[in-house]
């Protein structure tokens, strides 16, 4: 069997029926990339370390988001849950660095509180999801959420190879867009926080474009999420 058959079919769908999601994802990654570019342009030589700490956190989050995207195209969204969990931590860490006095110094000293404590301190809405991913995606296990995608119960067979399923891919891409757009927003807000004095116009533009990215995606992804109960999408498969 062709190892990449699912990816070939997924890629074709991205340029046909799922083209709107592809465009949204391209836009979300572009917003993250632009934030990193601004950190590089305006803050890399700044004596204060805040810009560098925030930039590398955004880059790490971007890499994790791209990994989730890539695995989803291969039909491996459940396995990508192991990447989604630290992606959420990157999003939360950007918020924590910006909101908590002294967080940058603690990051540099290797004395940050653990991810759960950071999430609670900033009131993150993702704590329950991270705990779910920790239980069912970050470690090998035999619970239903870990194994459901490996079994075809009705046929009494294993699913040794994950097949292309457009409805499932649509769900997962919508979720990846949402998390990537939120990452872009947090990166933009961090740039504004530590770079506003250096480049106020660029900071304002970056934040406005990040919020617009989220707003443009909402009318497209909300109807997709509304179909989730009838589809074996991200939450069921991760």
d(CA 209, CA 191) in angstroms, rounded, equals 13
Strands (E), the chain: 151-152, 157-158
**Is residue 100 a part of any domain in this protein?**
yes
The pair of three-digit structure tokens given for residue 8, joined into one six-digit string: 């070939």
* Domain contains 144: no
Cβ atoms of 55 and 43 closer than 8 Å: yes
Q: Specify if 183 maps to a domain.
A: yes
Q: Is residue 152 helix, strand or coil?
A: strand
Residue 42 belongs to a domain: yes
What is the predicted pLDDT for the residue at 222?
96
Q: What is the predicted pLDDT for the residue at 237? A: 41
Task: Print the domain residue range for 28.
Answer: 5-130+164-228
Structural domain includes residue 145? no
Q: Can you give the pTM of this predicted structure?
A: 0.88
Which of 137, 138, 140, 116 minimizes the C-alpha distance to 127? 116
Q: What is the DSSP letter of 148?
A: G
Residue 157: phi and psi, rounded to 5, are -135, 155
Residues in the chain: 238
Specify if 37 maps to a domain: yes
Domain count, the chain: 1
Q: Is residue 109 part of a domain?
A: yes
Can you tell me the distance from the alpha carbon of 222 to that of 111, in angstroms, rounded to the nearest whole number?
Answer: 39
The answer to whether residue 94 sits within a structural domain is: yes
* Per-residue model confidence as pLDDT tens for the chain (238 residues): 789 999 999 999 999 999 999 999 999 999 999 999 999 998 876 557 899 999 999 999 999 999 999 999 999 988 888 899 999 999 999 999 999 999 999 999 999 999 999 999 999 999 888 777 776 655 555 555 555 665 565 666 666 678 899 999 999 999 999 999 999 999 999 999 998 888 999 999 999 999 999 999 999 999 999 988 555 444 444 3
């Amino acid at each position: 069997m062709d190892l990449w058959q699912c990816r070939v079919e997924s890629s074709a769908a991205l340029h046909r029926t799922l083209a709107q999601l592809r465009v949204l994802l391209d836009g979300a990654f572009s917003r993250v990339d632009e934030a990193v570019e601004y950190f590089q342009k305006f803050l890399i030589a700044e004596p204060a370390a805040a810009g560098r700490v925030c930039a590398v956190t955004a880059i790490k989050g971007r890499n994790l988001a791209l990994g989730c995207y890539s695995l989803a195209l291969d039909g491996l969204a459940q396995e990508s849950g192991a990447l989604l969990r630290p992606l959420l931590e990157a999003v939360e860490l950007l918020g924590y660095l910006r909101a908590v006095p002294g967080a940058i110094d603690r990051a540099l000293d290797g004395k940050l509180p653990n991810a759960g404590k950071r999430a609670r301190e900033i009131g993150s809405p993702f704590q329950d999801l991270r705990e779910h991913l920790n239980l069912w995606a970050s470690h090998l296990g035999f619970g239903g959420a870990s194994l459901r995608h490996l079994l075809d119960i009705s046929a009494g067979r294993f699913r040794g190879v994950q097949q292309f399923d457009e409805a499932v891919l649509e769900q997962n891409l919508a979720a990846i867009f949402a998390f990537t757009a939120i990452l872009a927003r947090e990166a933009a807000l961090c740039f504004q926080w530590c770079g506003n004095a250096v480049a106020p116009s660029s900071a304002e533009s970056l934040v406005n474009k990040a919020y617009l990215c989220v707003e443009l995606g909402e009318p497209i992804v909300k109807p997709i999420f509304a179909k989730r109960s009838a589809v074996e999408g991200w939450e069921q498969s991760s």
